[in-house]
A = this chain, B = another copy of it.
Amino acid sequence: MRRILLNSLFAILAISIYSIANAADPLPSWSEGPAKKAILEFVAAVTDKSSKDYVEPSRRIATFDNDGTLWVEYPMYTQVLFAFDRVKKLAPQHPEWKTKQPFKALLAGDMKTVGASGMKGVIEIIMASHAGMSGDEFEQEVTQWLATARHPHLNCLYKECIYQPQLELLAYLRANEFKTFIVSGGGIQFMRPMTMKAYGIPPWQVVGSSIVSEFKTREPKVDFIDDKAGKPVGIYEHIGLRPILAFGNADANMQMIEYTRAGAGRRLGLFVHHTDADREYAYDRKSHVGTLDKVLDQADANGWIIVDMKKDWKSVFPDR
């Protein structure tokens, strides 16, 4: 009993010190500007019991895309690079890959031919590298790979190439009794081993694409693609409540934002615009990953908030 009380008092002290330190600014890595203003005003409105926009805590759902929204996706999605590395590791057990495309090209380092195999080729590689083992074994493979795999240009392990302003936003939302979810086109079992540590998001608050799992073994068959129009379906099936805030960075996230904003009451939809070639990358309409084209044309008319990385983020990555 005394221990419970003491622990609670320590927790209060810790919260209080944190609150005082951050009272001036819950989002210190965000520059003053329309994006930060929109976020602060939205959170103030939905948490104020006297506001017409008030939302019960149990319905304060915020969903975030992962690739390009919470961590780096350029020049290639991290999961695809994991799949490439895994095919190389598994090659000795697959002599047939020496003559079969796109595996032959991948093993020879001929990325042009791999690229030319298109989405069909990439899916073949994903299936070959993600199936045929139990979920626990797959988790171990991912965890081992993430422990050492480094981004080719940025000075970080992939699992550390995450955006500091978004970490602050996630913490700020949770401090205001939001539940934070990842809703990503990426593989659910690929993301889960890192989301708790990196973002403070537990595995059951991660919605993603999946391959069919039987009782024990992952099968090389797509179960669900959590992208584009799949995202609202994933949200409905998995979370069971419509978000009031959603954050993406690509045209593929438009349906999630539309679904979010189509609900009654006040809603907020945001997109990261990668505009910062110095600190990260600059890409949008014609990019091969994270294409942001229709969103830029329709944002103003729809009231979507475009977060300009160069202007709106004082820092991009955590200090290391």
Contacts and interface: CB of A to CB of B under 8 A. Distances in A.
Interface of A: 1, 4-5, 8-9, 12, 15-16, 19-20, 23, 58, 135, 179, 181, 188-189, 192, 196, 202-206, 210, 213-215, 223, 229, 232-233, 236-241, 255
A203 B236 CA distance: 10
B5 A192 contact: no
Contacts of A214: 229, 233
A58 B202 contact: yes
Q: Count copies of this chain in the complex.
A: 2
Contacts of A1: 19-20, 23
B4 A8 contact: no
6 contacts: A4-B15, A8-B16, A181-B204, A189-B240, A213-B236, A213-B237
A14 to B, nearest CB: 11
A181 B238 CA distance: 13
Could you say which of A12, A229, A233, A236 has the most chain B C-beta atoms within 10 Å of its C-beta? A236
Contact of A210 (B16, B20, B237, B255): B237
Contacts of A240: 188-189, 192, 202-204, 206
Contact of A241 (B15, B203, B232): B203
A30 to B, nearest CB: 21
Contacts of A223: 237
A26 to B, nearest CB: 13
Contact of A238 (B5, B204, B215): B204
A79 B176 CA distance: 36
Contact of A215 (B8, B196, B232): B232
A214 B205 CA distance: 21
A204 B229 contact: no
Contacts of A213: 233, 236-237
Contacts of A192: 240
A214 B228 CA distance: 12
Given A1-B20, A12-B8, A240-B189, A204 B202 contact: no
A189 B20 CA distance: 42
Contact of A204 (B135, B196, B205): B205
A24 to B, nearest CB: 11
A218 to B, nearest CB: 9
A138 to B, nearest CB: 10
Nearest to A212: B233
A19 B188 CA distance: 39
Contacts of A135: 236
A58 B193 CA distance: 13
A1 B15 CA distance: 11
Nearest to A11: B8
Contacts of A255: 215
Contacts of A206: 240
Contacts of A181: 204
A261 B214 CA distance: 18
